[in-house]
Structure 1
Amino acid sequence: MDIAEREFTVAEARALIPQVREHAAELVRLRADLAELTLDLRVHGASERGGIPEVKASEARLDEEIAWFTGQGIEIKGLAPFLIDFPAVLDGRSVRLCWLEGDEELAWYHRTDLGFAGRRPLE
Protein backbone atom coordinates (compact mmCIF):
# COMPACT_ATOMS: atom_id res chain seq x y z
CA MET A 1 0.00 0.00 0.00
CA ASP A 2 1.27 3.48 -0.86
CA ILE A 3 2.04 5.41 2.34
CA ALA A 4 -0.15 8.26 1.04
CA GLU A 5 -3.09 5.85 1.18
CA ARG A 6 -2.37 4.44 4.61
CA GLU A 7 -5.29 3.86 6.93
CA PHE A 8 -4.62 3.75 10.66
CA THR A 9 -6.46 1.91 13.36
CA VAL A 10 -7.06 3.96 16.50
CA ALA A 11 -4.47 1.79 18.29
CA GLU A 12 -1.85 2.35 15.55
CA ALA A 13 -2.38 6.11 15.57
CA ARG A 14 -2.30 6.27 19.36
CA ALA A 15 0.94 4.26 19.40
CA LEU A 16 2.56 7.00 17.31
CA ILE A 17 1.50 9.85 19.62
CA PRO A 18 4.73 9.91 21.68
CA GLN A 19 6.74 10.35 18.46
CA VAL A 20 4.15 12.80 17.12
CA ARG A 21 4.48 14.94 20.24
CA GLU A 22 8.29 14.87 20.01
CA HIS A 23 8.35 15.87 16.33
CA ALA A 24 5.57 18.41 16.84
CA ALA A 25 7.50 20.09 19.67
CA GLU A 26 10.51 20.48 17.39
CA LEU A 27 8.32 21.75 14.54
CA VAL A 28 6.67 24.32 16.84
CA ARG A 29 10.08 25.49 18.09
CA LEU A 30 11.40 25.82 14.53
CA ARG A 31 8.22 27.60 13.43
CA ALA A 32 8.58 30.18 16.22
CA ASP A 33 12.31 30.70 15.65
CA LEU A 34 11.77 31.16 11.93
CA ALA A 35 8.91 33.61 12.49
CA GLU A 36 11.04 35.73 14.84
CA LEU A 37 14.08 35.58 12.59
CA THR A 38 12.25 36.58 9.42
CA LEU A 39 10.35 39.40 11.16
CA ASP A 40 13.56 40.80 12.70
CA LEU A 41 15.34 40.68 9.34
CA ARG A 42 12.43 42.32 7.55
CA VAL A 43 11.86 45.06 10.13
CA HIS A 44 15.36 45.66 11.48
CA GLY A 45 17.62 44.17 8.83
CA ALA A 46 19.32 42.07 11.51
CA SER A 47 18.48 39.49 14.17
CA GLU A 48 20.14 37.97 17.20
CA ARG A 49 19.05 34.64 15.70
CA GLY A 50 21.18 35.12 12.58
CA GLY A 51 20.69 36.05 8.95
CA ILE A 52 19.72 34.50 5.64
CA PRO A 53 21.83 31.34 6.16
CA GLU A 54 19.96 30.67 9.41
CA VAL A 55 16.63 31.28 7.65
CA LYS A 56 17.55 28.70 5.01
CA ALA A 57 18.75 26.23 7.66
CA SER A 58 15.55 26.66 9.69
CA GLU A 59 13.42 26.18 6.57
CA ALA A 60 15.32 22.99 5.74
CA ARG A 61 14.86 21.65 9.29
CA LEU A 62 11.16 22.53 9.18
CA ASP A 63 10.85 20.64 5.89
CA GLU A 64 12.56 17.62 7.52
CA GLU A 65 10.06 17.63 10.38
CA ILE A 66 7.13 17.92 7.96
CA ALA A 67 8.56 15.04 5.93
CA TRP A 68 8.58 12.82 9.03
CA PHE A 69 4.80 13.21 9.35
CA THR A 70 4.03 12.71 5.67
CA GLY A 71 6.43 9.76 5.59
CA GLN A 72 4.28 8.07 8.24
CA GLY A 73 1.12 8.61 6.17
CA ILE A 74 -0.07 11.40 8.47
CA GLU A 75 -1.79 14.37 6.82
CA ILE A 76 -0.75 17.88 7.89
CA LYS A 77 -3.78 20.16 7.96
CA GLY A 78 -2.25 23.28 9.49
CA LEU A 79 1.07 24.62 10.73
CA ALA A 80 -0.13 27.35 13.11
CA PRO A 81 -1.64 25.84 15.10
CA PHE A 82 -0.14 22.50 14.14
CA LEU A 83 -2.96 20.14 13.18
CA ILE A 84 -2.65 16.62 11.79
CA ASP A 85 -5.01 13.88 10.67
CA PHE A 86 -4.59 10.12 10.58
CA PRO A 87 -6.75 8.59 7.81
CA ALA A 88 -8.92 5.84 9.27
CA VAL A 89 -12.20 3.97 8.97
CA LEU A 90 -14.64 3.85 11.88
CA ASP A 91 -17.89 1.93 11.64
CA GLY A 92 -17.38 1.57 7.88
CA ARG A 93 -17.04 5.33 7.36
CA SER A 94 -13.97 7.24 6.18
CA VAL A 95 -12.77 9.46 9.03
CA ARG A 96 -9.74 11.38 10.17
CA LEU A 97 -8.36 10.84 13.66
CA CYS A 98 -7.22 14.34 14.51
CA TRP A 99 -4.56 15.69 16.80
CA LEU A 100 -4.03 19.36 17.55
CA GLU A 101 -0.90 21.01 18.91
CA GLY A 102 -1.08 20.84 22.69
CA ASP A 103 -3.21 17.67 22.83
CA GLU A 104 -1.79 15.12 25.26
CA GLU A 105 -3.37 12.17 23.47
CA LEU A 106 -5.32 11.24 20.36
CA ALA A 107 -8.92 11.76 21.46
CA TRP A 108 -10.80 13.25 18.47
CA TYR A 109 -12.03 12.30 15.02
CA HIS A 110 -14.18 13.75 12.27
CA ARG A 111 -15.77 12.43 9.12
CA THR A 112 -13.47 12.90 6.15
CA ASP A 113 -16.13 14.88 4.29
CA LEU A 114 -16.74 17.28 7.22
CA GLY A 115 -13.29 18.31 8.38
CA PHE A 116 -12.48 20.01 11.68
CA ALA A 117 -15.99 21.48 12.09
CA GLY A 118 -17.31 17.93 12.51
CA ARG A 119 -14.79 17.02 15.23
CA ARG A 120 -16.10 14.56 17.84
CA PRO A 121 -14.50 12.79 20.80
CA LEU A 122 -13.30 9.22 20.24
CA GLU A 123 -15.10 6.59 22.34
Structure 2
Amino acid sequence: MERTMRPHSSTKRQSRLVTIGEANLMLPLVEKVVIDIVKVWDGIIQKRTELECLEKNPIRSDSGDRGQAAQDLKQELNLLIDRINGYIREIEDLGCFVQEFKRGVINFPTLYVGRKVFLCWRPGDEEVRYWHELDESFTERTPIRDFRDFFFQRTDKDVN
Protein backbone atom coordinates (compact mmCIF):
# COMPACT_ATOMS: atom_id res chain seq x y z
CA MET A 1 0.00 0.00 0.00
CA GLU A 2 1.40 3.38 -0.98
CA ARG A 3 1.22 6.06 1.66
CA THR A 4 0.35 9.67 1.08
CA MET A 5 1.70 12.89 2.46
CA ARG A 6 -0.09 14.09 5.56
CA PRO A 7 -2.16 17.22 4.90
CA HIS A 8 -1.41 20.28 6.97
CA SER A 9 -3.63 20.66 10.00
CA SER A 10 -5.73 23.76 9.40
CA THR A 11 -6.89 23.77 13.01
CA LYS A 12 -3.32 24.10 14.24
CA ARG A 13 -2.71 26.88 11.73
CA GLN A 14 -5.59 28.85 13.15
CA SER A 15 -5.41 27.99 16.85
CA ARG A 16 -1.91 29.03 17.89
CA LEU A 17 -0.38 32.40 17.16
CA VAL A 18 3.30 33.18 17.63
CA THR A 19 5.17 36.42 17.96
CA ILE A 20 8.22 37.27 15.86
CA GLY A 21 10.36 36.73 18.95
CA GLU A 22 8.87 33.29 19.59
CA ALA A 23 9.35 32.33 15.94
CA ASN A 24 12.98 33.42 16.04
CA LEU A 25 13.59 31.47 19.26
CA MET A 26 12.27 28.33 17.55
CA LEU A 27 14.51 28.68 14.50
CA PRO A 28 17.46 26.54 15.67
CA LEU A 29 15.16 23.54 16.17
CA VAL A 30 12.99 24.36 13.15
CA GLU A 31 16.09 24.58 10.95
CA LYS A 32 17.33 21.13 12.03
CA VAL A 33 13.97 19.55 11.23
CA VAL A 34 13.65 21.47 7.95
CA ILE A 35 17.07 20.27 6.77
CA ASP A 36 15.80 16.71 7.26
CA ILE A 37 12.54 17.53 5.47
CA VAL A 38 14.38 18.89 2.42
CA LYS A 39 16.66 15.82 2.25
CA VAL A 40 13.79 13.37 2.60
CA TRP A 41 11.71 15.33 0.06
CA ASP A 42 14.57 15.03 -2.45
CA GLY A 43 14.60 11.28 -1.79
CA ILE A 44 10.84 11.05 -2.32
CA ILE A 45 11.10 12.84 -5.66
CA GLN A 46 13.99 10.59 -6.71
CA LYS A 47 12.16 7.37 -5.75
CA ARG A 48 8.95 8.50 -7.48
CA THR A 49 10.91 9.27 -10.64
CA GLU A 50 12.65 5.88 -10.52
CA LEU A 51 9.33 4.13 -9.97
CA GLU A 52 7.65 5.97 -12.85
CA CYS A 53 10.54 5.08 -15.17
CA LEU A 54 10.44 1.46 -14.09
CA GLU A 55 6.68 1.22 -14.61
CA LYS A 56 6.80 2.93 -18.03
CA ASN A 57 9.85 1.09 -19.34
CA PRO A 58 9.05 -2.37 -20.71
CA ILE A 59 12.72 -3.38 -20.53
CA ARG A 60 13.54 -5.65 -17.60
CA SER A 61 15.58 -4.29 -14.72
CA ASP A 62 19.11 -5.52 -13.98
CA SER A 63 17.80 -7.97 -11.42
CA GLY A 64 15.54 -9.52 -14.03
CA ASP A 65 12.45 -8.98 -11.92
CA ARG A 66 10.78 -5.67 -12.70
CA GLY A 67 7.85 -6.42 -10.43
CA GLN A 68 10.08 -7.00 -7.42
CA ALA A 69 12.11 -3.88 -8.21
CA ALA A 70 8.89 -1.84 -8.33
CA GLN A 71 7.75 -3.32 -5.00
CA ASP A 72 11.11 -2.50 -3.42
CA LEU A 73 10.91 1.10 -4.67
CA LYS A 74 7.35 1.44 -3.33
CA GLN A 75 8.49 0.16 0.04
CA GLU A 76 11.40 2.64 0.12
CA LEU A 77 9.03 5.42 -0.93
CA ASN A 78 6.59 4.54 1.84
CA LEU A 79 9.39 4.65 4.42
CA LEU A 80 10.42 8.10 3.20
CA ILE A 81 6.81 9.31 3.34
CA ASP A 82 6.52 8.02 6.91
CA ARG A 83 9.70 9.90 7.83
CA ILE A 84 8.58 13.18 6.27
CA ASN A 85 5.17 12.88 7.93
CA GLY A 86 6.96 12.55 11.27
CA TYR A 87 8.95 15.70 10.54
CA ILE A 88 5.76 17.53 9.54
CA ARG A 89 4.24 16.58 12.91
CA GLU A 90 7.33 17.91 14.71
CA ILE A 91 7.01 21.25 12.90
CA GLU A 92 3.25 21.46 13.55
CA ASP A 93 3.77 20.63 17.23
CA LEU A 94 5.91 23.78 17.45
CA GLY A 95 2.99 25.85 16.14
CA CYS A 96 4.17 26.35 12.58
CA PHE A 97 3.89 24.37 9.36
CA VAL A 98 5.71 23.52 6.16
CA GLN A 99 4.57 25.56 3.19
CA GLU A 100 7.06 24.18 0.68
CA PHE A 101 9.06 20.97 0.97
CA LYS A 102 11.63 21.56 -1.77
CA ARG A 103 13.02 24.78 -0.26
CA GLY A 104 11.95 24.12 3.33
CA VAL A 105 9.70 27.17 3.63
CA ILE A 106 8.00 27.45 7.03
CA ASN A 107 5.00 29.59 8.02
CA PHE A 108 4.25 30.85 11.53
CA PRO A 109 0.68 32.07 12.22
CA THR A 110 0.64 35.53 13.79
CA LEU A 111 -1.28 38.80 13.91
CA TYR A 112 -0.42 41.83 11.80
CA VAL A 113 -2.30 45.01 12.73
CA GLY A 114 -5.04 42.83 14.20
CA ARG A 115 -5.52 40.27 11.40
CA LYS A 116 -4.13 36.78 10.98
CA VAL A 117 -1.17 36.46 8.60
CA PHE A 118 1.90 34.23 8.30
CA LEU A 119 5.45 35.04 9.21
CA CYS A 120 7.67 33.09 6.83
CA TRP A 121 11.18 31.71 6.93
CA ARG A 122 13.43 29.44 4.87
CA PRO A 123 16.82 27.85 5.52
CA GLY A 124 19.59 30.39 5.12
CA ASP A 125 17.59 33.23 6.68
CA GLU A 126 19.17 34.22 10.00
CA GLU A 127 15.80 35.25 11.43
CA VAL A 128 12.17 35.74 10.46
CA ARG A 129 12.14 38.85 8.26
CA TYR A 130 9.07 38.41 6.05
CA TRP A 131 5.34 37.87 6.22
CA HIS A 132 2.49 37.18 3.79
CA GLU A 133 -1.30 37.00 3.77
CA LEU A 134 -3.02 33.68 4.51
CA ASP A 135 -3.90 33.16 0.84
CA GLU A 136 -0.44 34.04 -0.47
CA SER A 137 2.77 32.07 -0.86
CA PHE A 138 6.38 32.63 0.10
CA THR A 139 7.08 34.21 -3.29
CA GLU A 140 4.59 36.97 -2.41
CA ARG A 141 6.20 37.73 0.94
CA THR A 142 6.64 41.25 2.25
CA PRO A 143 9.59 42.45 4.35
CA ILE A 144 8.75 43.23 7.97
CA ARG A 145 9.17 46.99 8.22
CA ASP A 146 7.94 47.70 11.74
CA PHE A 147 8.00 44.92 14.31
CA ARG A 148 5.45 46.82 16.41
CA ASP A 149 2.78 46.04 13.79
CA PHE A 150 3.13 42.38 14.76
CA PHE A 151 2.94 42.86 18.50
CA PHE A 152 -0.04 41.30 20.21
CA GLN A 153 -0.98 40.49 23.76
CA ARG A 154 -1.22 36.76 24.28
CA THR A 155 -4.61 35.53 25.46
CA ASP A 156 -5.70 32.10 26.70
CA LYS A 157 -7.23 31.48 23.27
CA ASP A 158 -3.83 32.01 21.59
CA VAL A 159 -2.05 29.44 23.76
CA ASN A 160 -3.98 26.35 22.57
Q: Which runs of 5+ in 2 are unaligned?
A: 1-10, 55-65, 146-160
Question: Any residues of structure 2 matched to 1:34-113 within 5 Å, and which?
Answer: 34-44=44-54, 46=69, 51-112=73-134
Q: Amino acid of the residue matched to residue 92 of structure 2? A: T
Between the aligned partners of 1:118 and 1:54, the Cα distance in structure 2 is 35
The structure-2 alpha-carbon separation of the partners of 1:40 and 1:103, relative to structure 1 and needing over 3 Å to count, comes to same
| Equivalences, count | 118
Could you tell me the percent identity over the aligned residues? 25
1:13 aligns with 2:23: yes
Deviates more, 1:31-40 or 1:18-27: 31-40
Q: Work out which of the two has the higher radius of gyration on C-alpha atoms and give 1 or 2.
A: 2
Q: Which runs of 5+ in 1 are unaligned?
A: none
List per-residue Cα deviations over 1:4-47 (Å, max 9, x = no partner): 21000110001111111111100000011121122123214559
* TM-score (ref. length: structure 1): 0.79
Between the aligned partners of 1:29 and 1:104, the Cα distance in structure 2 is 20
Identify which of structures 1 and 2 has the higher relative contact order when contacts are C-alpha pairs closer than 8 Å and 6+ apart.
Answer: 2
Runs of at least 4 residues off by over 6 Å: none
